[in-house]
Structure formats: structure tokens, C-alpha cells
Amino acid sequence: MEMEKLSLVVPCYNEEQSIPLFFAAVEKIRTALTNTTIEYIFVNDGSRDHTLTVLREMAKDYPDSIRYLSFSRNFGKEAALYAGLEHATGDYVAVMDVDLQDPPELLPQMLHLIRDESYDCVGTRRINRTGEPPIRSFLAKEFYRVMNRISDVKFVDGARDYRLMTRQMVDAVLSMTEVNRFSKGIFSWVGFDTKYLEFENKERVAGKSSWSVWSLFKYSLDAIVDFSDIPLALASFVGLASFIIAVFFMIVIVIRTVLFDDPTAGWPSLVTIILAIGGLQLFCLGIVGKYLGKTYLETKKRPIYILKETDKKQKK
């Protein structure tokens, strides 16, 4: 069997402590990957610590296997993944976090599933969320429930971005050049036979998570807008429902006035209704605005990331 290349795409944002630990952990399982060379592609996503210095050093020490890309600013993990996939040259490509929450020990099994059982992709999901604030787990669970109801694309609860893909699938992912990238949705959208491996949640080895509950909440709203147009339909549904209710009450008022000659009192209820309808209108307008905003950004066709430095072209 000839040698095949496995590329590991690793986004890093303020991870100076985790990177060496990650590298050591992967090197430890290296012998379990038969007939495989590893290419590391670290993507420095505008870190404010010494991540870039660490990467430069490592690329110098291991010029054959370690490559890095460094952005001009923080573009977000999704952009980092895209850049990494674009530069990966392997026959197989895995994307994984650098904080060792994605256990490298799974790699041999993942590779085996793709090579010998002809899957196109092996994903991973954690079966528990120990070490995470309960509120975060609850919100995440609800997000997957809602998302699966309102989108045609399937989302696996607890699925991580950690996955191994064939070259063919990587090219499919790269063909989706949208600026608003929600990787979980994109990986699912492109299709292909995917097998999910399960593992117990791990806490990160060093550094801290760059996600707060609030940023995750905003992220999930973006994901919904990126992969579902149900909210748009919801706007018309709410409008229609309130219109029907209004007609019903109109009829009631007319009948009541004709039959009972009712001297109408109660402007407070009127004000309440006006406020409620006004609020609904603004809410629906907001939904439309959100989609319009996304469309606006897409039509600008801005690049997904901007490189400042790579292992080939070092800034002096």
C-alpha cells in the first residue's frame, strides 16, 4: 500500500499553551496511523497572545510536516476552517480543535472507517456535556431541537466540528463559498456517507473557551438564518393570524353595537392592541431585515479571510 497523506486543519485563537500539548498528543498516536504521513495546518486566527511565535518556531523545527497560516485579524473559527481546508493537500483531511477536546486517539479508527468501510466522512459527537454550565447545555439542546424542525439539513445533537473527510468531500465543502459560514450545516448539506463516533466530553487542556453563552446564542441565531427560511414564513403566519383575529373582533363589535347599542368604553385595551400589533410588525420587520443583511453581505463577495503570513512567506 502506498503512503497517503492526512492533513490536520487546526484553528487556533489565543492558544499558545495548547498548541505544543496538541502536537505532542497527536505525535503519540502517529505510529497507529499506518501508511500515513501527517501534515499539520495550523491557522492563527488573529490571536493576541504568542500563538504566531509558537507556530513559527514549530514550523522551523518540523518543516516537512508543520505548516501555518496567519490571518490579518480575527475572522472566526469558520473562516479559519475554510482557509485550512483550502490549503490542505492531504488525501484525507481532519478538522480538529487545538484544545484537545477533540481526542486524537480517535484518528486511527476514523481513518480505518474511511479506508476500509468506504465512508466518505467520519464525524464525532459527545454523548455528555460534563464540565459545562447547565444553562449552556440546556440552550445547546434546545438549539438542535429547533434547528432540526425548521431546517431540511439534519443536525446531530452534540456533534462536534471534529471530523475526517475524503478529498472529494473537502472539495465539495470548498465549493460552498458563502461568507456566512455555519460549518455544521455545511458539512451536513454537502451530503456523503457519514458515520458518527461517540466519545465522552473532555475539558480543554489549557487556555479558556472563547465562547460565552451570549456569543453562542447569537451564533445559533445566525445558524438558523443561514440554514432555514422558516422564520420568514413565520412572519407572514403571525401577520395572517393577527389579521384573522382582528376580523373576528370586528364582526363581534358590529353585532354588539347593532344589537345592544353599546357605548364603547375602554381605550386602555385599544392601546394595548395597538402596541401588540406594532410590536409584532417590528418583530417581523426585524426578521426580514436579518435575512436582508445576510444577503447584503453575501452580495459584496468579500473574501472569507485575509492572510498576513504563512510558513512560506514570513514577515521580517
For binding to ligand UDP (CB under 6 A), which residues are involved?
11-13, 15, 45, 74, 76-77, 80, 97-99, 101, 204, 209-211
Give the integer Cα–Cα distance in Å for 71 and 305.
7
- 124 lies in the site for Mg ion, by CB under 5 A: no
Nearest-approach distance from CB 18 to ligand UDP, in angstroms: 7
Nearest-approach distance from CB 14 to Mg ion, in angstroms: 12
For Mg ion, give the closer residue by CB, 101 or 124. 101
Nearest-approach distance from CB 99 to Mg ion, in angstroms: 4
For ligand UDP, give the closer residue by CB, 39 or 99. 99
Task: Determine the 3-state secondary structure of 9 from DSSP.
Answer: strand
C-alpha separations of 199 from 13, 22, 124, 175 in Å: 24, 18, 7, 30
Q: For the sheet with 66-71, list strands across it.
A: 194-199, 121-126, 159-166, 92-95, 4-12, 36-44, 66-71, 307-310
Give the integer Cα–Cα distance in Å for 298 and 292.
10
Residue 98 contact among ligand UDP, Mg ion, none, beta carbon within 5 to 8 Å by kind: ligand UDP
For ligand UDP, give the closer residue by CB, 210 or 295. 210
Size of the site for Mg ion (CB under 5 A): 4
Residue 211 contact among ligand UDP, Mg ion, none, beta carbon within 5 to 8 Å by kind: ligand UDP
Nearest-approach distance from CB 265 to ligand UDP, in angstroms: 57
Residue 80 contact among ligand UDP, Mg ion, none, beta carbon within 5 to 8 Å by kind: ligand UDP
For Mg ion, give the closer residue by CB, 101 or 220. 101
Query: Are 40 and 23 in contact, with CB atoms under 8 Å apart?
Result: yes
Residue 45 contact among ligand UDP, Mg ion, none, beta carbon within 5 to 8 Å by kind: ligand UDP
For ligand UDP, give the closer residue by CB, 15 or 120. 15
Single-letter amino acid, residue 126:
R
Nearest-approach distance from CB 131 to Mg ion, in angstroms: 11
Looking at 18, 101, 124, 166, which residue binds Mg ion (CB under 5 A)? 101
Neighbours of 38 (CB within 10 A): 20
For ligand UDP, give the closer residue by CB, 88 or 235. 88
- 99 lies in the site for Mg ion, by CB under 5 A: yes
Q: Which residue has the cell 401588540?
A: 276
Single-letter amino acid, residue 125:
R
Binders in 197-226 for Mg ion, by CB under 5 A: 204
DSSP, res 193:
-
CA quadruple 138, 13, 190, 303: dihedral, nearest 10: 130
What are the backbone angles phi and psi of residue 233, rounded to the nearest 5°? -65, -35
For ligand UDP, give the closer residue by CB, 13 or 187. 13
Cβ density class 267-280: b for 16+ within 10 Å, e for less: eeeeeeeeeeeeee
Nearest-approach distance from CB 90 to ligand UDP, in angstroms: 19
Strand 36-44 and strand 66-71: pairing? parallel
For 116, the grid coordinates are 476500509
Q: Could you list the residues that contact Mg ion (CB under 5 A)?
A: 97, 99, 101, 204
